């Protein structure tokens, strides 16, 4: 039997689990990344293509040249446009270009959701400064400004004071910097518990795999600092979150494949923050879901990309959590206590992304974080406690 060939867009640390899993499954892997030194290219047996993951014409050419059987990405939004283009060109099933556009442009997403009566925050699109200032007058405080087409918590800014003209200007400049098309969204600030919902759609049916509780840095940038599963919210709230997630996937048009839906449970009920037509990043689907449910979402998505049927049945119900290191700006002088932290029962992994000698900043985006601890235990509370205990042992000196 011929070895099947899958193209994976991205070869960074985020996509490494998909590359390794595909090799483990006996597949031939073509990895695509604009960084010739990307870590995924070092995996034995990987065919390397140094192309930007959003360069659609070049990716289509490479896909045809390699006669691939399927294509996917993991945890990044914009390459999904390349996935949809190749799928259309080569006659694969999977997500279509219209659904991907709605899932990667926050304005198109908001409009599609609102049209189908899916709860979203009040929002305005602003293509220039004048439109932005008009939106600010209409929305009231507090409000959030974000780029229309970015990911990884980049470009998000909260404004709480309409008298602070300098901050209002700064929020616009900051968000616009991260917007490819120059459009920003001004939307009402939502408060309440924040969750993400990991789903897989098969034959038009959206299946909830796990609901993840999350904590963020808070204002102004709201970068995620921890996740845990299963959610600790009550059964009625979980039911409502599940209903809103299924409605949202339907409204965007996701009939096949994964999605990562972010929701804030406001006083009016769950409202959609945004929805990605891909697996959740931040170790959620690569580590936490398999630890807490036994469902290997990465393997499921590889199988879906190849037109095969995945096993999405839950095997067990345990707790899993990730917590990120706390930090401040400066140069990392030393990191101590990792070996001791690793010996704590329940701790499964400790990773350092920015090591000794590197300059680090405040946490303004997910790429800025120094590292993280992952734990598995009998329930979410216990897994979180394991992570916190490990963090207390790790001393990071920043000078």
pLDDT in tens, 314-335: 999 999 999 999 888 999 999 9
3-class SS string, 112-139 = HHHHCCCCCCCEEEECCHHHHHHHHHHH
List CB contacts of 57: < 8 A, sequence separation 6 or more: none
First and final CA of the chain: distance in angstroms?
A: 58
How many CA atoms within 13 Å lie on the side-chain side of 152?
Answer: 16
Please tell me the total count of domains within the chain.
4
Please tell me whether residues 141 and 213 are part of one structural domain.
no
Please tell me whether residues 198 and 312 are part of one structural domain.
yes
CA distance 60 to 82: 8
pLDDT tens figures, 330-379:
999 999 999 999 999 999 999 998 889 999 988 877 788 899 999 999 99
Q: Is 204 left (phi over 0), alpha (psi -120 to 50) or beta?
A: left
153 within some domain: yes
Report the pLDDT value the prediction gives residue 1, as an integer from 0 to 100: 64
pLDDT tens figures, 108-139:
999 999 999 999 999 999 999 999 999 999 99
40-44, 183-187, 248-252, 286-290: which range is least confident on average? 183-187
132 within some domain: yes
104 within some domain: no
Q: What domain range includes position 69?
A: 5-92
Cβ proximity of 344 and 259 under 8 Å: no
344 within some domain: yes
Report the pLDDT value the prediction gives residue 362, as an integer from 0 to 100: 84
CA distance 253 to 130: 33
Most confident of 154-163, 166-175, 259-268: 259-268
3-state helix, strand, coil in the chain (%, to 5): 35, 30, 40
pTM: 0.89
pLDDT tens figures, 60-112:
999 999 999 999 998 888 899 999 999 999 999 888 999 999 998 888 999 99
102 within some domain: no
Q: What is the mean pLDDT of the chain?
A: 93
Report the pLDDT value the prediction gives residue 399, as an integer from 0 to 100: 85
What CATH number corresponds to the domain at position 349?
3.90.1170.50
What CATH number corresponds to the domain at position 227?
3.30.470.20
Phi, psi of 214 (to 5 degrees): -135, 155
117 within some domain: no
Please tell me whether residues 230 and 183 are part of one structural domain.
no
240 within some domain: yes
Buried b (16+ CB within 10 A) or exposed e, 7-34: bbbbbbebbbbbbbbbbeeebbbbbbbe
- Which of 168, 188, 208 terminates a domain? The answer is 188
Report the pLDDT value the prediction gives residue 363, as an integer from 0 to 100: 82
Beta strands in the chain (DSSP E): 5-9, 28-32, 47-49, 70-73, 123-126, 143-147, 157-159, 184-188, 194-202, 205-216, 224-229, 257-266, 269-276, 319-324, 330-336, 347-352, 359-360, 371-377, 395-398
114 within some domain: no
What CATH number corresponds to the domain at position 129?
3.30.1490.20
């Amino acid at each position: 039997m011929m070895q099947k060939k899958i193209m994976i867009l991205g070869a960074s640390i985020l996509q490494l689990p998909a590359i390794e899993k595909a090799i483990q499954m006996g597949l031939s892997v073509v990895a695509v990344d604009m960084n010739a030194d990307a870590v995924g290219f070092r995996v034995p047996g990987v065919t390397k293509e140094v192309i930007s993951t959003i360069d659609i014409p070049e990716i289509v050419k490479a896909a045809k040249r390699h006669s691939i059987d399927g294509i996917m990405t993991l945890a990044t939004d914009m390459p999904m446009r390349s996935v949809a283009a190749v799928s259309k060109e080569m006659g694969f099933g999977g997500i279509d270009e219209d659904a991907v556009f709605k899932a990667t442009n926050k304005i198109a997403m908001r409009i599609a959701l609102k049209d189908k009566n899916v709860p979203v925050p009040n929002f305005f699109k602003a293509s220039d400064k004048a439109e932005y200032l008009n939106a600010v007058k209409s929305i009231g405080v507090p409000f959030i400004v974000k780029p229309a087409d970015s990911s990884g918590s980049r470009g998000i800014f909260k404004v709480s004071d309409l008298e602070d003209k300098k901050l209002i200007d700064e929020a616009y400049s900051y968000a616009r910097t991260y917007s490819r098309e120059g459009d920003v969204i001004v939307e009402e600030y939502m408060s309440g518990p924040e969750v993400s919902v990991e789903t897989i759609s098969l034959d038009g049916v959206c299946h909830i795999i796990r609901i993840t509780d999350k904590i963020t840095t808070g204002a102004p940038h709201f970068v995620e600092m921890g996740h845990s599963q299963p959610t600790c919210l009550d059964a009625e709230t979980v039911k409502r979150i599940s209903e809103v997630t299924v409605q949202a996937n339907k409204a965007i048009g996701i009939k096949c494949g994964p999605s990562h839906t972010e929701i804030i449970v406001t006083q009016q009920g769950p409202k959609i923050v945004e929805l990605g037509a891909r697996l959740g990043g931040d170790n959620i689907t690569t580590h936490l879901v398999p630890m807490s449910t036994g469902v290997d979402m990465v393997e499921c998505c590889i199988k879906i990309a190849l037109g095969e049927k995945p096993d999405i049945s839950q095997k067990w119900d345990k707790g899993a959590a990730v917590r990120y290191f706390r930090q401040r700006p400066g140069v990392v002088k030393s990191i101590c206590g990792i070996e001791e932290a690793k010996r704590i029962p329940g701790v499964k992994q400790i990773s350092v992304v920015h090591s000794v000698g590197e300059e680090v900043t405040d946490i303004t985006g997910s790429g800025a974080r120094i590292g993280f601890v992952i734990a598995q235990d009998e329930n979410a509370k216990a897994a979180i406690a394991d992570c916190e205990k490990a963090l207390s042992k790790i001393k990071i000196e920043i000078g």
